[in-house]
Structures are given as structure tokens and as C-alpha cells.
Amino acid sequence: SEYGRAWAEIDLNAIANNVSVLKDTASTAEVMAVVKADAYGHGLIPSARAAQRGGASYLGVALLSEAIALREGGVEGPVFAWLPTPGDEFEKCIALDIELNVGASWMLTEIEQAARKLNTRARIHLKADTGLGRGGTFLNSANSDSWERLVAEVAQSQSEGLVEVVGIWTHLAWADSPFHGTIGNQHDNFVRAIEFAKAAGINPILRHAANSAATFALPNMHFDLVRPGISVFGVSPGPEVGTSESLGIKPAMTLAARLVQVKDLPAGSGVSYGHEYVTSRDTNVGLVPLGYADGIQRAASSAGPVLAAGKVRTIAGRVCMDQFVIELEGDLAQAGDTVTLFGPGLRGEPTATDWADAIGTIPYEIVTCVGPRVPRVFVGGA
């Protein structure tokens, strides 16, 4: 292989195609492709460009620094960033035409200061907490930081020419369970929040609530814009929504490595730290040079599936910082051979979802955790 120890191959055509499937699914709503966390581990700039090629008219990120990185990487078009910290780079974002979230009074205050300094108008999206209990403000809250108070402050700011309200948005608590009782509730709360803002003279063009699951499963949550994240990268948001295959999307990341050693071990040999795995017969083992420093969770000890020497095998014993062992059961293999941890599943390899199931987590964590020591190799696309 022309690659070194390990690599994550990213299929940019898959990303573009997945977005175009999402665009069809969202019918009249526009698509904001969420590319936070280095595009869920897939590489920020190439993934963002592939998403745009597939028809995403917006890009969404969590951190302001991620939005700045998009602009500095030459990515144009609307970008929305929603997780600022006090003292963040508001001025730089406004100067780079990045749209910002206002989910609390302090955010508005800092954005106003930055807009005054730049003598311009900041583009903002107001965040309603409709029942997730995380970011944003509640309607009819006794809390001083209520939707009513925030809307009044924003209306004032709007009249002073400091902000332009582009969007009102919210986040669903249970969208991966599309029939969950909270969803109707959140829908009604969101509509009420929008009506209240409208009465105060705030009437943005974009109302958005739907994540990946809601894009596929809840058409009444589409509004003007959908915000898919994990499905952009071809991974299903959850079993109740469907498999990647049934949704018509394809996983974009394949994580592979090369064996660095193959050796024989007699029956009764302890393998890896703490000898949690002991060989039950004379056998051979392969050493895979990836570990928890690369995002292979320690929870995958004696659990993670790997395609090696033609078969799917389970990690033998503990995952170490830089390596783990697999039992090869006498099958022929040698140093330099490629092993595949996960991929689209089209060649018999496990998927990120298989990994998540094996270790009791979600596939979002599997792909997002692949660490910076693993080079991203991009295929497909311009």
C-alpha cells in the first residue's frame, strides 16, 4: 500500500451523493450540512466542499473557530456557528460574514459590541429551547433569561441596526426515535416561539429544527432548512430511522491499518495487558498499530470487529495506547497486510455502526474519535 501505518480513506463522492439524497428528502427545505468536529472526523475543508457540491446551501459548525477555519480554507457561502464562549472571536466572525447563534443575553451583548466596532450588522439565528434542556431559552420561563426577554432585546438591537435576524432555530431531544411523545410537544413550542417573535417584529426567513433523523422521518419538522450531520457522512442516525442502505446513503469513511507483526503463540498464552485474553489453542496473532490514542476506544477491548486475512475477527484482549492484537486462527498473513476496522460494509468489512453496537456506543462517536495521528486520504470529488 502507498499508505503508512494506518489511514482513513474518505470518499468525497459519497458525501456529495448523501447530501443530494438529503436534499431530495427535505423537498422544499434547504440543506445545512453540519461539518463540526472536523466534519465528524472526515476532514473539514474537503468535506465541506463535497457537501456544497451535493447541494448543501448552508454549512453548520459548533465552534466559532471552526467557522473561521472554513473561511480561511477558502470556503464561501452561508456558514452558521452556534457554540460560542464568552470572549470568543465574534468580531472576526462578523467580518468574515459568519452567521451566529444567540441563545442567551450575553451572546447578544457581545455580538452587539462587535457589530458596533465594525460599524456593520451581524447576522444571527435565535435559539429557542423547546424541550431539550440544553442551549437556548425557554418560552414562558420564570428565569430571567427567557425567550420573551431575549426576543425583546433582539427587537431593540434590530431597530438599532446592529443585528439582522436570519433564523429561529431549535434542537430536538428524541428525533432518532421519530415516534417519541416529546416531538409533537417540541414542534408546538417551536411554532409558539416563532409566533411570539413575529409579534415582536422579528420575522426571519429561516426556521430550522430537523437533524438527520428528523430530515428522514419527520417531514413536519422540515420548516425552511434541515440540519443533517451524521447522515451527510453516510451513517444512519439510528435503527428506528433505518439503515444507511435503506436510507440510500453510503458511509464515507474507511479506517484501515497495516499489520506490523504476525507471530505464532502456543495454547494458553496471555495476550496484551492484564492477559484478559488467553489463547485456547496453538494459533497465530497479528499486531495492528492503532490504539486509544487514535480513537480506538478501550471499550473495544475483546469486542471490536476487524476484517483481516479474509474474515471478521474480534480484538484479542486489551486495546493499548498505540496498538491491539487480533487472533488469526492459523490463517495466512504477514507484516504489511491491510486490515480494515470499518467501512461502508460492501466488502464484508464491519461498519461504524457494527463497531458502535459492539462496544455500546453510537456510530457518531466511532467516526468522530478517529484521531489526528491517522491521516485522512481523500478519494473522489473534484
Tell me which residues are annotated as active site: 36, 273
In DSSP terms, which residues pair with 271 in a beta bridge? 277
Position 354: which residue type?
D
Position 81: which residue type?
A
Cell numbers found for residue 222: 422540515
Q: Is the separation of the CB atoms in 308 and 353 below 8 Å?
A: no
**CA-to-CA dists, residue 350 to 36, 148, 224, 323, 355, angstroms:** 25, 49, 36, 19, 7
Q: Is the separation of the CB atoms in 27 and 220 below 8 Å?
A: no
Is 328 in a helix, a strand, or coil? coil
Largest pairwise CA distance in the chain: 79
In this structure, what are the phi and psi dihedrals at residue 156, rounded to the nearest 5 degrees?
A: -65, -45
Contacting residues for 223 by C-beta, under 8 A, at least 6 apart: 29, 206, 207, 208, 209, 210
**CA-to-CA dists, residue 196 to 139, 150, 152, 190, angstroms:** 9, 11, 10, 10
In this structure, what are the phi and psi dihedrals at residue 357, rounded to the nearest 5 degrees?
A: -60, -40
